[in-house]
């Protein structure tokens, strides 16, 4: 990019770093010989200095201080101590991330070196308008091993962090909570351990959290209930324990909630009935007890519910089936459910699969089930149900 005309405001160092103003806007540029490394308009002196130091970091300058004369006053910026932008450089942050890796068996990150523009590095997406700003870090199923660098929080414009299906270990850095723009977080299928940091609630733009299939432990932080934009929360296949917090009912935009295969205890919070947009609810393979809350029927968007392999007891609430018109799959096997199969089950015209095997159900099988045209799988075995001939007729009619 060619040198623009304008008034220079003070020397930066002997290597040619300058700060200038044009048309009332501050412009930061490295003028080395007859060409600029970068030129961009910035709407304030402090922002100009910060961007200047960012560019210095990426382009190889070594300025120690900047003296800026603007608006009739001097602003002395002493290297990194005043602005702390050296550590915030997206380029250096990515190199810090790479330093934490202990294995890259397929050499996916060989492009991660200063000889290549970092926006061209494997897995990196940069902003279309803001130069040299990382918005996406996607390193999926690459066999990478190591810790997740806490310096990743310096990628202040990051919206997508996808590290699933690797061998990352250690804890989830609490500093991730500083990523205000982060909308998508997927670190599933790794070896992460420790607790889920409550600081994640600082990522108020988050819509997706997928931590499935790790070794995470501890209780669910109540702060998760403060993340009002979440649409997808997946924490299955971990070692999480404790009660399911009623604060999850605050996640009014949630469409998928997956908490299966953990060590959760206590009852299913009836407050979950407030999640009117919820489509998928997976709570199976835990130690949940008590009855199934009838108010789950208020989750009228539900398409799939899985409660199998818990210690739930009592009757299946008949009111629940009168509202779940979109229900397709219901898994409730291997509990301690008793009573009859509600006749209202025949209202679920979209039902494909219904599994209540391995319980203590009794009585007759509702004959109207034979009218459910979409029903493909219907499991009743290991109960105390009577009239098996009638049940057999039903099963034949839906087969």
Tens of pLDDT, residues 72-92: 223 333 332 323 333 348 999
For residue 103, being part of any structural domain is answered with no
Write down the pTM of the prediction: 0.78
> Residue 373 gets which letter from DSSP?
T
What are the tens digits of pLDDT across the range 264-310? 999 999 999 999 999 999 999 999 999 999 999 999 999 999 999 99
- Structural domains of the chain, count: 2
For residue 218, being part of any structural domain is answered with no
Predicted pLDDT of residue 61: 36
Predicted pLDDT of residue 387: 60
> Given 83, 99, 124, which residue is the final one in a domain?
83
Q: Which has the minimum average pLDDT: 4-13, 246-255, 360-369? A: 4-13
Look-up of token digits 């839906």: 398
Predicted pLDDT of residue 132: 86
What are the tens digits of pLDDT across the range 206-261? 999 999 999 999 999 999 999 999 999 999 999 999 999 999 999 999 999 999 99
As a whole number of angstroms, the distance between CA 339 and CA 8 comes to 84
Statement: residue 151 has pLDDT above 80: yes
> Given 83, 104, 135, which residue is the final one in a domain?
83
Read off the pLDDT band of 322 (50, 70, 90). confident
Predicted pLDDT of residue 35: 34
CA 45 to centroid of chain Cα atoms: 36
Statement: residue 201 has pLDDT above 80: yes
Percent of the chain with pLDDT over 70: 75
Predicted pLDDT of residue 399: 52
As a whole number of angstroms, the distance between CA 168 and CA 153 comes to 17
Predicted pLDDT of residue 391: 53
What are the tens digits of pLDDT across the range 53-66? 444 444 433 332 33
Predicted pLDDT of residue 259: 98
For residue 2, being part of any structural domain is answered with no
Read off the pLDDT band of 368 (50, 70, 90). confident
First to last CA, the chain: 71
What are the tens digits of pLDDT across the range 106-138? 999 999 988 889 999 999 999 998 888 999 999
Predicted pLDDT of residue 371: 84
As a whole number of angstroms, the distance between CA 320 and CA 314 comes to 14
Rg of the chain over Cα atoms, rounded to whole angstroms, equals 29
Secondary structure of 213-240 as H, E, C letters: CCEEEECCCHHHHHCCCCCEEECCCCEE
Look at 175 and 55; give whichever has higher pLDDT.
175
Domain of 282: which CATH number?
Answer: 3.80.10.10
Read off the pLDDT band of 370 (50, 70, 90). confident
For residue 161, being part of any structural domain is answered with no
As a whole number of angstroms, the distance between CA 204 and CA 279 comes to 22
- Estimate the crossing angle of helix 90-99 against helix 45-59, to 10 degrees: 50
Predicted pLDDT of residue 180: 95
Residue 101 contacts residue 144 (beta carbons within 8 Å): yes
H or E element: which one contains 146?
Answer: strand 145-147
SS3 309: coil
Q: What is the mean pLDDT of the chain?
A: 81
> Given 60, 83, 106, which residue is the final one in a domain?
83
Predicted pLDDT of residue 386: 77
Statement: residue 161 has pLDDT above 60: yes
Statement: residue 51 has pLDDT above 70: no
Read off the pLDDT band of 388 (50, 70, 90). low
In sequence order, the 6+-apart residues with CB closer than 8 A to the CB of 39 are 1, 4, 27, 28, 29
As a whole number of angstroms, the distance between CA 378 and CA 368 comes to 13
Q: Give the residue-averaged pLDDT of 317-328.
A: 91
For residue 60, being part of any structural domain is answered with yes
For residue 115, being part of any structural domain is answered with no
As a whole number of angstroms, the distance between CA 96 and CA 271 comes to 43
Read off the pLDDT band of 146 (50, 70, 90). very high
For residue 344, being part of any structural domain is answered with yes
For residue 268, being part of any structural domain is answered with yes
List helix spans (H) across 254-306: none
As a whole number of angstroms, the distance between CA 285 and CA 371 comes to 31
Domain of residue 20, residue span: 7-83
Statement: residue 44 has pLDDT above 90: no
Percent of the chain with pLDDT over 90: 67
């Amino acid at each position: 990019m060619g040198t623009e005309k304008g008034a220079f405001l003070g020397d930066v160092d002997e290597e040619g770093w300058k700060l200038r103003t044009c048309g009332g806007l501050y412009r930061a540029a490295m003028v080395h010989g007859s060409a600029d490394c970068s030129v961009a308009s910035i709407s304030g002196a402090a922002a100009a200095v910060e961007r200047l130091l960012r560019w210095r970091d990426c382009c190889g300058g070594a300025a120690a201080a900047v003296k800026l004369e603007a608006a009739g006053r001097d602003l002395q910026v002493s290297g990194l101590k005043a602005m702390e932008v050296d550590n915030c450089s997206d380029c250096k942050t990515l190199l810090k991330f790479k330093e934490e890796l202990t294995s890259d068996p397929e050499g996916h990150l060989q492009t991660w070196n200063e000889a290549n523009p970092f926006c061209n590095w494997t897995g990196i997406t940069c902003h279309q308008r803001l130069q040299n700003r990382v918005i996406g870090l996607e390193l999926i199923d690459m066999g990478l091993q190591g810790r997740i660098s806490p310096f990743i929080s310096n990628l202040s414009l990051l919206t997508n962090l996808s590290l699933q299906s690797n061998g990352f270990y250690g804890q989830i850095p609490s500093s991730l909570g500083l990523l205000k723009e982060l909308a998508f977080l997927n670190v599933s299928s790794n070896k992460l351990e420790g607790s889920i940091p409550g600081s994640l609630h600082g990522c108020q733009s988050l819509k997706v959290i997928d931590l499935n299939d790790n070794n995470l432990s501890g209780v669910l932080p109540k702060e998760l209930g403060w993340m009002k934009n979440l649409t997808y929360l997946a924490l299955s296949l971990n070692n999480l324990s404790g009660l399911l917090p009623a604060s999850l009912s605050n996640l009014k935009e949630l469409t998928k909630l997956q908490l299966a295969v953990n060590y959760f205890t206590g009852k299913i919070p009836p407050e979950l009935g407030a999640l009117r947009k919820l489509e998928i609810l997976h709570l199976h393979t835990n130690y949940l007890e008590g009855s199934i809350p009838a108010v789950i029927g208020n989750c009228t968007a539900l398409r799939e519910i899985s409660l199998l392999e818990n210690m739930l007891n009592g009757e299946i609430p008949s009111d629940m089936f009168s509202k779940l018109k979109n229900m397709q799959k219901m898994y409730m096997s291997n509990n301690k459910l008793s009573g009859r199969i509600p006749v209202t089950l025949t209202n679920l015209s979209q039902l494909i699969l219904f599994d209540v095997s391995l319980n203590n159900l009794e009585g007759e099988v509702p004959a109207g089930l034979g009218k459910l045209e979409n029903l493909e799988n219907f499991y009743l075995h290991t109960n105390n149900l009577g009239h098996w001939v009638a049940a057999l007729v039903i099963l034949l009619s839906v087969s």
